Structure 1
Amino acid sequence: MTLLDLWLSHSIPMCLLLQSLVLMALCFPSASMCPKGCICQLDPHLHGLNVTCSQSRLKEIPPTLPVNTVLLRLDHNQIGAVPDQAFHGLRVLRELNLSYNAVETLGEGAFSGIEGTLQVLDLSHNRITSVHKDAFARLKARVIVDDNPWHCDCALQQAISGMAHNHEAAARVLCRSSELHDQEGRPFLAVDTDLCNLAKRTTDYAMLVTMFGWFAMVISYVVYYVRQNQEDARRHLEYLKSLPSKPKKPDEADDISTVV
Structure 2
Amino acid sequence: MGVGFQSLELCSTSVGQAFFCLLLCIPWGSSCPRSCQCTERAGAKAVLCSSRHLEEIPKDIPRDAVFLKLDANSITRIPGNAFRHLSHLQEIDLSRNAIEKIDGAAFRGVAAGLRSLDLSGNRIRSIPKEALLALNAKLRLANNPWHCECALQEVLWEARLDPDSVRDITCHTAPRDEYVGKPLLQVLDAGVNFCSVRQRSTDVAVLVAMFGWFAMVIVYVVCYVRHNREDSCKHGRQPRALPAAPGRADTASTAL
- Do both share a fold (TM > 0.5)? yes
TM-score by length of 1: 0.78
Residue 184 of structure 2 is matched in structure 1 by 188
Residue 40 of structure 1 is matched in structure 2 by 38
Following TM superposition, by how much is the alpha carbon of 1:115 offset from its aligned partner in structure 2, in angstroms?
2.8
Count, aligned residues: 244
Mapping for residues 103-252 of structure 1, pairs under 5 Å? 103-164=99-160, 166-189=162-185, 190-191=187-188, 192-238=191-237, 240-241=238-239, 245=241, 248=244, 252=248
Which has the higher mean CA deviation after the structures are superposed, 121-130 or 52-61?
52-61
* Runs of 5+ consecutive residues of structure 1 not aligned to the other structure: none
Does the C-alpha gap of structure 1 residues 156 and 250 become closer, same or farther in structure 2, counting only changes over 3 Å?
closer
Structure 1 CA distance, aligned partners of 2:243 and 2:229?
Answer: 31
Structure 2 CA distance, aligned partners of 1:25 and 1:234?
Answer: 101
- Give the superposed CA RMSD: 3.4
Following TM superposition, by how much is the alpha carbon of 1:126 offset from its aligned partner in structure 2, in angstroms?
0.8
1:35-73 alpha-carbon deviations (Å, 9 max, x no partner): 232222233x1x232212223232221122101112211
Following TM superposition, by how much is the alpha carbon of 1:168 offset from its aligned partner in structure 2, in angstroms?
3.6
Q: Would the aligned equivalents of 1:100 and 1:124 in 2 still touch at CA under 8 Å?
A: yes
Structure 2 CA distance, aligned partners of 1:214 and 1:91?
Answer: 54
Following TM superposition, by how much is the alpha carbon of 1:207 offset from its aligned partner in structure 2, in angstroms?
0.9
Residue 26 of structure 2 is matched in structure 1 by 25
Structure 1 CA distance, aligned partners of 2:22 and 2:148?
Answer: 56
Structure 2 CA distance, aligned partners of 1:98 and 1:116?
Answer: 19
Structure 2 CA distance, aligned partners of 1:19 and 1:248?
Answer: 128
Q: Would the aligned equivalents of 1:136 and 1:162 in 2 still touch at CA under 8 Å?
A: no
TM-score by length of 2: 0.79
Does the C-alpha gap of structure 1 residues 106 and 253 become closer, same or farther in structure 2, counting only changes over 3 Å?
same
Does the C-alpha gap of structure 1 residues 91 and 248 become closer, same or farther in structure 2, counting only changes over 3 Å?
closer
- SS of 2:78's partner is coil
Residue 79 of structure 1 is matched in structure 2 by 75
Structure 2 CA distance, aligned partners of 1:19 and 1:81?
Answer: 42
